[in-house]
Amino acid sequence: MDQHPNREEYRRTHSSLNLKRNRTLALDLTGLKTGNVLARGLGLVLILLVGITLSWGAHFYFALHNGIDRASGSPGATSARIASKQPISVLILGVDQGIEGRHDQGNSDTMILATANPSKNTATMTSIPRDTLADIKGDPGNKYFMFRVNSAYQVGGNQGAVKTVESLFNVPIYYYVEVNMKALKSLVNAVGGVDVQVPFDFSYDWCDFHKGKQHLNGRHAVAYVRMRKEDPRGDYGRQLRQRQVIETVAHKAMSVNTISNYRKLVQIFAKYVKTNLSFNDMFFLALNYRGTIKNLKSNYLQGHDAWIDGASIQVASTPAIQKISNMVRKNLNLAKVTVNNEETRQNELNANNVDWSNPEAFTTYRVYDQGTGENDTKVDTTPANNANSTSKKGIFDIFK
């Protein structure tokens, strides 16, 4: 006789066990309401969206990381000064390479010296007019002397500009950010243009501007920030328009619509920006220095119009130079020192030639050769460490 009952017999004899599916792993659909199904479905979708967002965000992070580090040429390490939350100074340079058909080194039409002190939560931003008379540093041959401060970039690149501004105010400059003017055009186009309040009607570089709100594309934005001669405030008015466009671009670059085009922004940064700040530096700045922007003090170096050897120049008085030096050094936790450099020496030698209270442009201010006259300059090199060069001649005939 068969010892193994067939399927029907087994089922009949064991029906009392009332076997059911494993409810530990199986979902009982009989007690599940429609609302619960919807909630669980939305939860699943949310989890998927968060996962996709985090993945995309990580991709964006590393792409931006690589782009910025390519611009800085550094491996991404955080500098000791920023890591220890010490006060910092940054020279921002807007250079005009490739604009209006230029193929040479170009000049730094925009020069802004910024400082940030995280312990005080204070920041300063000082605009330096491009035509300011300064002792040009950074030339390896030591053959250049007094001329417009923006020519320091043409002579010695960003390092020449840094050394020149350090000497002008007797302050240390730890970092620089050099932005090609072509970057502004590309950035404005990448964010879909910018809306600005035009202060008055003017035309520049085949672009027309009308008083009031106006939408600008990249080419128009570059023209808008470059025009100077038609502005009744001269270079000071241009500096205001530069900040206007830069602030608008920064705001739009943070928007959701712009982030979708992050690849363009990273490419622009890598191609048109040079800096000695690494991505980690910028990341630490964003985390630990952002409070300083709440107490930002804006200023500019005030100059006096002058004509020297047929060139239009802005001459800063010694008190004006000292004022900026004091403000910057204070925010860097440095003691105030009396500025004693080539610029102040030239002012002293011209004491009998000009009247600083006269609003008319100077026509009698002259540049004395280095080593002539009284009180030859010994620039205070602490902590900027700028050597005072010798045997330099004027370069007005070269840069006119």
Q: What's the confidence (pLDDT) of residue 377?
A: 38
Judged against a pLDDT cut of 90, whether residue 254 lies above it is answered with no
Mutual orientation of helices 279-288 and 34-72 as an angle, nearest 10°?
Answer: 120
Q: What is the DSSP letter of 4?
A: S
Phi, psi of 256 (to 5 degrees): -65, -40
Higher pLDDT, 320 or 45: 320
Structure tokens at 168: 């002008």
Judged against a pLDDT cut of 50, whether residue 397 lies above it is answered with no
Q: How much is the average pLDDT of 137-164?
A: 85
Structure tokens at 187: 């950035």
Higher pLDDT, 161 or 18: 161
Judged against a pLDDT cut of 80, whether residue 143 lies above it is answered with no
Contact indicator for 91, 175 with CB cutoff of 8 Å = yes
Per-residue pLDDT tens digits for 30-40: 555 555 655 65
Alpha helices in 123-217 (DSSP H): 151-169, 181-190
Is 0.75 topped by the overall pTM?
Answer: no
Q: How confident is the model at residue 285 (pLDDT cuts 50, 70, 90)?
A: confident
Question: What is the set of domains in the chain, with CATH numbers?
Answer: 52-191+261-303 (3.40.630.190)
Q: What's the confidence (pLDDT) of residue 37?
A: 57
Q: What angle do CA 123, 72, 61 make, to 5 degrees?
A: 85
Judged against a pLDDT cut of 90, whether residue 163 lies above it is answered with yes
